[in-house]
Amino acid sequence: MSVVISAPVAAQATSVTSTSAVDTTAGPPKPFTAYSNSARALRDSVVQLAKAQIGTRYRRGGQSPEKGFDCSGLVKYVMSALNLDLPRTARQQGAFGLAIARDTSRLLPGDVLTFGHGKKAVSHVAIYIGDGRYVHASTTAGKVVETRIDRPNSPLLRMWRGARRVFALDDTAAVPPSGSATTPANVSATLANKSGT
């Protein structure tokens, strides 16, 4: 079952009070401007949360900054902070959401990248953060790192296979499984709690 979260839920909380993101000088706003701005804010939050974990140690089966992360534990942790309940394993996450072809021009921040050896199933996942870079829990580095997507191929590295889009840019997708809205205020509070401030 693929569930994709859209940003309109978050837009409900921000579109009423925030007009700075909508340009009113060029005529009436486009119908879904608030939704697009909210989706962008949600994706920015995914990037912030993922980058905040850089340096956290690698631990097989790890799912928290305190104990460490494995690749799927990192993805699950970041997405769950934004009320998106992803499956636990890389293989399961590699089947969640909308499939995106192996084309860097189609990637958006927050997409889940999938990796594997040869024709085997997905064995590694990461979070795309934009500009050809992604954050992942690396067994080789022994910690969460930021890596370029166009790195040279090596027999030690898993090959990039594609991506899964778990956040939609329109209002056609389901709401968060928990039924609660993700707002910029909630994300800020989550970031503050995670960083200990």
Residue 42 catalytic? no
Residue 136 catalytic? yes
Strand pairing partners for 64? Answer: 68
AA identity, residue 92: Q
Evaluate whether 4 touches 168 at the Cβ level (below 8 Å): yes
Encoded tokens for 140: 């080789």
Neighbour-count burial of 127, counting CB atoms closer than 10 A to its CB (0-12 exposed, 13-18 middle, 19+ buried) = buried
> Which among 43, 136, 164, 165 is annotated as catalytic?
136
Mapping DSSP to helix (H, G, I), strand (E, B) and coil, where does residue 58 land?
Answer: strand
Q: In whole angstroms, how far apart are CA 56 and each of 62, 75, 105?
A: 11, 13, 29
Residue 124 catalytic? yes
Considering only the C-alpha atoms of the chain, give the largest distance between any 2 of them, rounded to a whole number of Å: 55
Beta-strand (E) ranges in the chain? 5-6, 63-64, 68-69, 98-100, 112-116, 124-130, 133-138, 143-148, 159-165, 167-168
> Which among 46, 71, 84, 122 is annotated as catalytic?
71
Phi, psi of 87, rounded to the nearest 5 degrees: -60, 170
Indicate which residues carry an active-site annotation.
71, 124, 136
